[in-house]
Amino acid sequence: MTRNVALMLAVFSGTSWSQRAGAQDTFDTASIKLTVPPGVGEARRGGCVGGPGSNDPAMIRCDGVELRYLIELAYHAKSRVTGVQPPYLRFDVIAKVPPGAMQEQVSRMWQNLLADRFNLAVHRETKEMPAYLLVVAKGGLKAKEVADPPDDDSSEPLAPLSRIKRDKDGFPVVPPGRQLTYNKGDTSYLIASNYSMERFASLLETLLAIDSAAWRPVVDATHLSGRYDFRVTWEAGVNGLSHAPDLSALERHVGLKLEQKQTQIEFLVVDHARSSPTEN
């Protein structure tokens, strides 16, 4: 599923709201279950595929996604979500889309589903704060640009790491629009396929938040509009649980760096949400 969700929100800053379902704005069926944690040596999977505009318009499948990710999907990908706890819970979602539904309708379906299952209520705020700007490093971009990027993400499920095909360099071959992170020995790996710079910045923001108590937004400032394949490796650390690449590895492997700067950031603030959904 593409992350370019066009949505007009009739809200005022500081006003809390929750979306309630209308018959035309709900999925035909939807299942939300806690993700089974990956085994030792297996990749952590994450992301959604399918839906309008994809090669599987009638079904949306999400593997290992946080509630934060689903809220961003429902209310616009550029919004930062704050107030979601606990951040370590992940969910698998299967949603059946009514025939002929458009992307904007699906956004409202997500809003209604989250309001129904998580009792979600949110409002918007904008404030100035420290952020990371994702920029091209002095040595130039090293990530491989996708010559003929597909219009939509693949609906192909991401297989367990042990069964994923490898390229000539031994890296897992990930379907377009999918990403995975995993540890092998004392090395961590981040693979992302057919990602825009904006989407890669969002991915880095999520991964950095897992490893740090001091969350900081990551804003794309590369001014690059293409799609790219990213492959980054770095030392996993003494506990073997490093989720985000260190800054030197980011520059060394893909030619990008993060610069700290004060900037205006829009937030989608969660006023209320259950940590786990109600029964399917």
Q: Model pTM?
A: 0.64
pLDDT score of 212 = 67
Task: Work out the percent of the chain whose per-residue pLDDT is above 70.
Answer: 79
Cα distance between residue 109 and residue 167, in whole Å: 38
Q: Which amino acid is at 241?
A: L
Give the C-alpha distances (Å, rounded to integers) separating 63 from 19, 38, 180: 24, 12, 11
Question: Pseudo-torsion of CA 170, 175, 178, 182, nearest 10°?
Answer: -20
Tell how far CA 150 is from the center of its chain: 18
Q: Which amino acid is at 106?
A: V
Q: Where are the domains of the chain?
A: 23-272
pLDDT score of 216 = 84
When computed from its CA atoms, the radius of gyration of the chain, rounded to whole angstroms, is 18
pLDDT score of 2 = 33
Q: Which residues face 260 on adjacent strands?
A: 132
Burial 137-165 (b: 16+ CB within 10 A, else e): beeebbbeeeeebeebbbbeebeebeebe
Nearest to 43 by CA among 64, 62, 69: 64
Cα distance between residue 132 and residue 39, in whole Å: 32
pLDDT score of 37 = 74
CA 78, 82, 85 angle in degrees (round to 5)? 130
Packed helices 67-75 and 103-118: angle between N→C axes, nearest 10 degrees:
140
Q: Residues 195-231: pLDDT tens digits?
A: 999 999 988 988 887 766 667 889 999 999 999 999 9
Cα distance between residue 196 and residue 274, in whole Å: 32
pLDDT score of 69 = 86
Residues of the chain with pLDDT under 50: 1-23
Tell how far CA 277 is from the center of its chain: 19
pLDDT score of 209 = 78
